[in-house]
Structure 1
Amino acid sequence: MDGKKLLSFFQTCLHSFMKVWQNAFLCLFFSCLSLSYAQEIGPVWYFGNNAGLDFNSGVPVVLTNGALVSDEGCATLTDANGQIMFYTNGNTVWNKDHVVMDNGTGLFGNVSSAQGVVIVQRPGSNTIFYVFTVDTQPVDAGYKGLRYSEVDMTLDSGLGAVTSNKNIFIATAIGEMLTIVRHSNGTDRWVAAVGYPDNKIYATLITAAGVNTTPVVSDGGPALSNYGWMGAMKVSPDGTKLAHSHLFSGVQLSDFDPATGLADNYITLTTDSMYGVEFSPSGKLLYTSSYTSSTINQYNLEAADIAASAINISPGNQIHDGGGLQLATDGKIYFCRYNLLDALDVINSPDVLGITCNYQINALYLGGKTINSGLPAATQVQKMTAVIMADKFCLSDATEFSLSSVVDANSVTWNFGDGNFSNEVNPTHVYASIGTYTVSASFTIGGVPQTLFKTIEILEMPTATQPPDMTACGDENGQAVFDLSTQRTTILGPLQLVDFSVGFYTSLEDAKAGVNFITEQYTNTSNPQTIYARVSPDAGICHAITSFILNVVRKPVLIMPDAFAFCQNSSVTITAPAGFSAYVWSTGATSQSIVVSKAGSYTITVYQVSGGITCEAVKTITVTEAAKPEITYIEINDWTDNKNSIVVTVSGSGNYEYSINGINYQTSPVFNGLLPGKYTVYVNDINNCGTDKQEVVVLMYPRFFTPNGDGKNEVWTIKAAFFEPNMKIHIFDRYGKLIYSFNGSEPGWNGEYNGHRLPSTDYWFLVERSDGREHKGHFSMIR
């Protein structure tokens, strides 16, 4: 409701009540909180660093005359005409002349307390108000807790003053969030707070007798982590839900009983670090803002799984952390991004599900003033009033109308602004043409006739032309990559791409909400699969949806070897598998087989026609010419008992396999762990293009011998020496004297020199092999 219509409503009420004192019905405007039971929004905001907004005209007008400075919490009181009475940041109270109120300093709130101050009118009084404050950081020494101070507007010639009832204690260990809930009797009030770290809900009752300083305590959620005292709390428009957000402790949503002040049945929506929270005007949607980014999530409170319904409605690439969220009189939700920015973001249609709620960055410039984290919040009106709620504003849609509060309106007369009327309580209406319409709802509250007005705009509905289905060749899993962008021109039809966009979705629900869009280079997840296309104007909320089907035809599977080989002066026949519609070789041949006599790469493409589409498979085959192997060198690493090895070097261009017994072959030319002895090395071409072989001898010597006449180890010689009969072995004593020489075919040395037995000691040897290699070592003779 805009300011003029709000004033008209109150003037009618005042006339019906015989012109009682002008301030009998007041708008209370509270910092960072949302009100319940019939909810009105305060028309004047003072917040941040001397920032201000006036919504009395129906649109926000920037104010720069405020004296208030606050990082977060603040509250403003206005009268029935939308004129300010006083405002506060929780430490100081200013009167309507922007001068500090008598006794208006030293309140125990804190400018850094997120939702640290609210104002409540004492029921039955037109002059007494209570300023509730909560300090910041309940873990700090000197923390002052939840308190209230009394303001009497009859003092100081009607400018008001804080009385001696100042900073009255209520509770300690309370977080930085306060909100006001209307009692179910329609008169009394609850001030709800959140305990830290127990996350209990503390509900303080305010009646005509004053403030009951013994709160009603109930469970609000799991225990809070460090810094969980920071955040916000809001109440749904019907007063039955409490939502509270916390740094590093997520968001909880609870049922609330406005008759008893008890909360129960809490659920945790997220465990991410959150700061702001706000209900949509209808109470069907909830918004939360992240503390560590500028992300805003929207929750559908009518969803079966509320937590899973979260939709990120904010654009990316924002560099500031998130701050408070607040619903205003114009039906929009405003959002401040920390820190010291000079403009507010806005959610233009907060009752619209999905990204079409129309989030706008830097939508409202503050006239050079700045804001940190905290926004002012909803205002509570002492009379239960209503506002017109409307949804669906696209031509050909049935626009839905209702009243937002608990007004007992059994008889409502609706004027849709186009010459059509309805007496239904919650009517729908289809407009015949686009344009701006002023809708009115006339009803009676307490015997007083009321008429509410709301201006709506009916927007043109775009068209979405259904494109043909898409068919593609896919893999054995029935998946393929589709270029959805090729459908865009058909879908738009006569619409211009510069004015409209096309988004693609896997479900109708996502398409309607405009969430979870898919990329235009899309791989299907089922076969067949229906894709939904949403046509949206670049400016506006109306959209049209069409659909088409993705079909995948399985590509032919071409299973054949990657490589072939042929022997020198020969050829090889390459045959592709049977059963395909056509064959095309890189040679130009179209037969199933080709004969190849030249090394190189050859490509075979097979085609299969199915379902009206031709799919293909391609394979590249390598053909090599194999040559007979020739052993050019064998490296022998011997003179150990069982760790000897040989490495075979081969010339030739074939693929070879190796063996040292002619039976067991391997692809490696290296043989390890060999015992001393004679081996025949075989190298075989795997395409049967020839074999080469060569003998090698692996040698070793005994470390000692025992020529003592027992018939064991009587002679020392080189192991496997007999395989090299031309080998020369020389024995020396420790002084280098030649003792004995023999060749590979002889038995060895018996431990004597010129017929005399030599003593037990170490002896040295020199081996001269037939290929010129030499080896030296020593051994022991033991008698």
Structure 2
Amino acid sequence: MGTTHTPVFMDRYGIPMPGGTVPLSSYDMANGYPLAVPSAADSLQYYIFTCLDKGLQYSIVDMRLNNGRGDILPGHLLLPLMPNGTVIGSKITIAPGCDGLYLIARVASFHGFVSLKITHNGVDTRPVYSYTGNFSLPDYQQNGLYFGTMKASPDGRMLAVGTARGLELYDIEPCSGLIKNARVIDTLMTFGACFSPDSRLLYTTRPDPQSGYYEASSIMQWDVSTPSDLNSIRTSGIQVLANSAYYWPAWQAAISSYMGDIAQGPDGKLYILSNTLYDENQRPLPLPPATTVPFAQTFHIIHQPDNRGMACQPGRDAFNLNGRYIDRARYYLPHPIYAIPRPQPDTIYRHKGYITSCFGSGTTLATDSNATCITWYNGDTTTALYTKDTGKLWVRYAKECQWYTDTFTVIHTILPEIPAYLVACPGQAALTVTPRETHRYSYVLQQQDGPTRRTADTDSALTFHGLPSGSYTLQVRSGSCDTTVTITIQDLPVPDVRIAPYDITLPYGSSVTLQASGAELYTWWPARYLDTAMGASVTATPQESVQYMLTGINAYGCRDTAYANITVDHHMQLWLPNAFTPNGDGLNDIFRIENVTWQQLLSWSIYNRYGTEVFSAGSIHDGWDGNHKNRPCDAGVYYYMLQYYNTDRTIQTLKGEVHLLR
């Protein structure tokens, strides 16, 4: 069975099946082949998997139809598996698994694979997605000549993917179809890929690095017998065969004939399709030929593909096709046809025994070696489970496709949660002991080489506060269990907080900047008269004497304090000149009070020598212009008396004389 470039199913004689015409024009497998799987329920029926419009479909062919030549079973043409636009048609393959086969396809819409299981009951349409891959999405797409093939190992454990960027190797979980552990084996563009019959060796076609040409012209062999040893696989690669170089007149360069896919034949040998340059007598031409001659297709052969190195017996041009050209052979050969495995025996149930521990922090439970598809009672999927749970604990897994369910009866007396190491600011260490199950515990905490000793007996959490630094032992008892743990307490660095200036006298209404140092974070108290209560630099404008306390915290959270004293001077002296000249020249014409700031006037009067009041002010900012009742006063000596409030509400009195000069 096969297809032509127009989507149509062919019968065993290469004639289109009556019911096999595909009602679509986009055929994404134009560079590959459909995949065939014999039905396990009916030996004369086959599942045929195709990729149309980047979707996955399957059809059922019944060999009893069409006079025994085979035809599509009515109603079973292109049954959908994956929606259009979701998969890459050149990268689908079949892998043996537990209880069936897996149809595996590279997903086009995201970085990963999809697996669909084929069993005795038919095709399971529920996809299993694997999100993995090393290269970018375009590297897996059809891109000219370089999209590469994808093959599974005969034992169903590995998947090889050829791309324009190189060769990838994955693990296949045979019990689930999950694709895991993506690793890059080769960084040269890879066309064909095929595993040896025993799945221990991998053969690929890639460019010959010596030729400098990008076509796949050599056959590589890789030892994948230890899939987990990536470096060993990479260094094991050897070239077992390469095409001869020839001269290409149009390019005026020597290039090599290119190779296509690799496939295992019914005889267990591997066959590699090669486009080789021949002369008119079908003999391979040496380098360089005198004239341009046509290509011919041949098959190289690996006689003993399970053997390492040249013992695999590679053969060049084992036979040629005598001018016949296999359509799309530059890229792909048909995939192997696998029979669906028989269902495995029922699950085996085993009790693995009783496990006890005294003050252990947990127990490690393990599956058998080589277990896959592991599911523990708590949803964990690792091979070994470290658990603190008690009771009957179970794990389900597959081993060589046999399912097992193991149970463990676990009994713990669990040690309370006790920190082994504490760091704290000096004198502030707090050791908290937290039980992890309901038991009564007795504790004896003893400082080594120190006087501290604490005891407790409780079934709940407790905390030992205010412990100094040093080494301690904590004896823990519960029932017959007795153990001692060691605890170390270390002091954290303490900040050295300072304030500059730390003692200052300010006139009322003045400001000062206080600068803190020695810590990371700062808090000032009280906050009154400050522009901010936090920060290394604050501005204080106090209206009364005050002491500020600064708390500094370093990067470890430890604290220190410092203090700054500010004394406010409320007695800011006023003064008056002893003479003035009210002659209208604009200079010293007014007799007024100087150095006025925050003072408040109580009274201010000026008298002549006879005791007559010639001036009285209602404001501390008023001044005498030398007139009385709008008439100039005589030159001479005058007397003033000034009373005012200081900022602390004390009364200040000033008396003196002033000379009026004219």
TM value normalised by structure 1: 0.38
Q: Between the two structures, name the one with larger relative contact order (CA 8 Å, sep ≥ 6).
A: 1
Larger CA Rg, structure 1 vs 2: 2
TM value normalised by structure 2: 0.43
